[in-house]
Amino acid sequence: MRSHYCGQLNETLVDQTVTLCGWVHRRRDHGGVIFLDMRDRDGIAQVVVDPDTAEAFANADRARSEYVLRIQGRIRLRPEGTQNPNMPTGMIEVLAKEVEVLNTAATPPFQLDEHGKVGEEVRLKHRYIDLRRPEMIDKLRLRSRISHNVRAFLEEQGFLDIETPILTRATPEGARDYLVPSRTHPGSFFALPQSPQLFKQLLMVSGFDRYYQIAKCFRDEDLRADRQPEFTQIDIEASFVEEEDIMGITEAMIRQLFQEVLDVELPAFPRMPYAEAMSRFGSDKPDLRIPLELTDVDDLMKDVDFKVFSGPANADDGRVAALKVTGGASLSRKEIDEYTKFVGIYGARGLAWIKVNERAKGLEGLQSPIVKFMEGVVEELLDRVGAEDGDIIFFGADKARIVNEALGALRVRLGEDLDLYTAEWSPLWVVDFPMFEEDGNARLQALHHPFTAPSCDVETLKSHPAGALSRAYDMVLNGTELGGGSIRIHDHAMQQTVLEVLGIDQQEAREKFGFLLDALQYGAPPHGGLAFGLDRLVMLMSGAKTIREVIAFPKTQSAACLLTEAPGEVSSEQLKELNIRLRQKAKAETAGE
């Protein structure tokens, strides 16, 4: 039906006859002539309809915003003075010979140019209109290119694209499973997978050697700002590999992805142990573009006459850390109050600070509500953080977890507020994670998942589980975890030991993933892998503000689709067939509450 996309038109086509199909983006009448900005997925082109071509003119005259037209015409250079160098098609226009109305359009609920004026709810409800915005089309096109590029790279490397089931068994992380009642097995349920983890390990046991899949995953959790109940993973697993193999392949994959899709040469990916990341940045996904670091000062604060500091400094699970901000002495009292409130979100009960006005003057040159308590150590403190005139030093003193979260977040916030970024892209690998973390009840939980291999042997793991490190690795970019993975346990005895340490008894283990434990006995190769969050990767690469911008039909934060009004009610017959009934009638509510 068409000869060219609108966005393809340019000066080289002058005098050629073209056929366009698309939407009326804007319509203007000027000097008895109709100007139509015709839009398709590739761009916008200006069409001029002259009253001389009576039938075309009559049709153009009917056309309103978002009508669907087919236009045949001749390309010509725009007259001097009406050219628009900011538009790819801005040097030319199409003089219409024929205008056909393929479909009419009711007045849209919002004009594309004015989408900012309506709330996200309206746009999600009319998603098919919101997706017409060139920015949205571009983001999803970028997503398609990213998937394509990743696939091409992995297939080149011998990875096979293998599909794993969506209807499967409840996983170990079961609490957040979406369940699906079975009709053929009344009273039984499938679960939607939180990841293809177990299946990809089985594929390694089968000898597929290199597996990948761009896989849908599901998690029924209270949605934080930027999560979706269904999300997409670039899932990778390989056999007869060690950490370096997986890290090498996936780093090369991301590097060439940025090169080919964004024309960006990523810098080197440094390796950083988890402990160092927490110590220096208070985070296991540090944004290295921000040149601020935490400094440990516990040793200095053990004996100060200030319980807020000396308490955590002497506690096993406490931490006192300083965050020096170069030039930060110019922060106003109001700004500091604002940051104090901000760290409160993370549980910090306050935000101590010292402004370094003039170091040469000693204590006199410092401004601070707390410096009086630490006269004996202040010089050493200033030396340690490398304080210079004009700096401010913030402090966190609490349980280590709170200090890390609060100062880690403050560090990022200051980076944004003061625009401290030193680079556009800053990737790294975080490695040497602990195997376990303590939950509230002094029980150990897997920091990653219970199939992650430790870097020690069975005996050491049994005797000192809390100190064990894992063979896990996370790829971090600009403070976002792009992907994480590990070398898995391929040894049955080691897997049993890890389950014992986690307090998962034999019966529970068999119920949850007995088939994996079985598989490990029948000749499992050493193997490992990694999974990237595709949505987040696209979001970073496209500069989107929310994950919803890079998903064609996203859900809201209450896990509803405003467009289709899913989830919805179903008939009692349907429930009866599934052998279930509602516990209580659904409350009157809209899906988009």
Member of 51, 165, 386, 503 binding a second copy (CB under 8 A): 165
Determine if 248 is a binding residue for a second copy (CB under 8 A). no
Map residues 520-549 to x or -, x wherever contact with a second copy holds by CB under 8 A.
-xxxxxx-----------------------
Strands of the sheet with 271-273, listed across from one edge: 160-161, 210-218, 230-239, 527-533, 480-487, 472-477, 427-431, 271-273
CA atoms within 13 A on the CB side of 248: 7
Member of 77, 167, 252, 345 binding a second copy (CB under 8 A): 167
Determine if 67 is a binding residue for a second copy (CB under 8 A). yes
Nearer to a second copy, 70 or 413 (CB): 70
**Alpha carbon distances (Å) from 4 to 63, 73, 92, 113:** 21, 12, 14, 24
Nearer to a second copy, 161 or 317 (CB): 161
Nearer to a second copy, 8 or 279 (CB): 8
Nearer to a second copy, 34 or 170 (CB): 170
Determine if 14 is a binding residue for a second copy (CB under 8 A). no
Determine if 199 is a binding residue for a second copy (CB under 8 A). yes
Specify binding-site residues for ATP: 219-221, 228, 481, 533-536
Amino acid at 28: R
- Which token pair is 482? 């792009």
The rounded distance, in Å, linking the Cα atoms of 325 and 348 is 19
Segment interacting with a second copy (CB under 8 A) among 52-60, 273-281, 405-413, 572-580: 572-580
Member of 8, 10, 33, 41 binding a second copy (CB under 8 A): 41
Cβ contact 445:466 at 8 Å: no
Member of 37, 66, 235, 298 binding a second copy (CB under 8 A): 66
The rounded distance, in Å, linking the Cα atoms of 508 and 44 is 60
CB of 199 to a second copy, least distance (A): 6
Determine if 566 is a binding residue for a second copy (CB under 8 A). yes
The rounded distance, in Å, linking the Cα atoms of 230 and 125 is 19
Rg (CA), the chain: 30
Nearer to a second copy, 373 or 513 (CB): 513
What is the residue-wise DSSP string for 287-332?
-TTS---EEE-HHHHTT-S-HHHHHHHHSTTEEEEEEEETTGGG--
Determine if 578 is a binding residue for a second copy (CB under 8 A). yes
- Of residues 80-119, those binding a second copy (CB under 8 A): 102-106, 108
Member of 52, 113, 161, 335 binding a second copy (CB under 8 A): 161
Member of 166, 370, 371, 469 binding a second copy (CB under 8 A): 166
The rounded distance, in Å, linking the Cα atoms of 509 and 402 is 33
Nearer to a second copy, 463 or 558 (CB): 558
CB of 63 to a second copy, least distance (A): 10
CB of 62 to a second copy, least distance (A): 13
CB of 132 to a second copy, least distance (A): 5
Q: What angle do CA 576, 578, 584 make, to 5 degrees?
A: 60
The rounded distance, in Å, linking the Cα atoms of 130 and 26 is 16
Nearer to a second copy, 141 or 372 (CB): 141
Q: Which of 432, 427, 428 is nearest to 448 (CA)?
A: 432
Specify binding-site residues: 173, 219-221, 228, 448, 481, 488, 533-536
Q: Which of 122, 106, 94 is nearest to 68 (CA)?
A: 106
The rounded distance, in Å, linking the Cα atoms of 336 and 5 is 54
CB of 197 to a second copy, least distance (A): 12
Nearer to a second copy, 192 or 378 (CB): 192
427-431 and 271-273 as β-strands: parallel, antiparallel, unpaired? parallel
Q: Which of 519, 14, 550 is nearest to 232 (CA)?
A: 550
Please identify which residue in the block is written with the tokens 């940025």: 258
DSSP secondary structure letter of residue 125: H
Member of 44, 202, 323, 403 binding a second copy (CB under 8 A): 202
Member of 178, 306, 342, 429 binding a second copy (CB under 8 A): 178
CB of 452 to a second copy, least distance (A): 17
Q: Which residues, including other chains, have CB under 8 Å from residue 354's CB and lie 6 or more apart?
A: 366, 367, 368, 370, 371, 378, 387, 392, 393, 395
- Which token pair is 122? 């309206």
- How many residues bind a second copy (CB under 8 A)? The answer is 128
Specify binding-site residues for L-aspartate: 173, 219, 448, 488
Member of 144, 330, 422, 460 binding a second copy (CB under 8 A): 144
Q: What angle do CA 295, 407, 446 make, to 5 degrees?
A: 95
Q: Which of 94, 98, 55 is nearest to 76 (CA)?
A: 94
Member of 239, 368, 478, 486 binding a second copy (CB under 8 A): 239
Determine if 507 is a binding residue for a second copy (CB under 8 A). no
CB of 1 to a second copy, least distance (A): 4
Nearer to a second copy, 70 or 76 (CB): 70
Determine if 275 is a binding residue for a second copy (CB under 8 A). no
CB of 66 to a second copy, least distance (A): 4
CB of 112 to a second copy, least distance (A): 11
Member of 129, 236, 403, 539 binding a second copy (CB under 8 A): 129
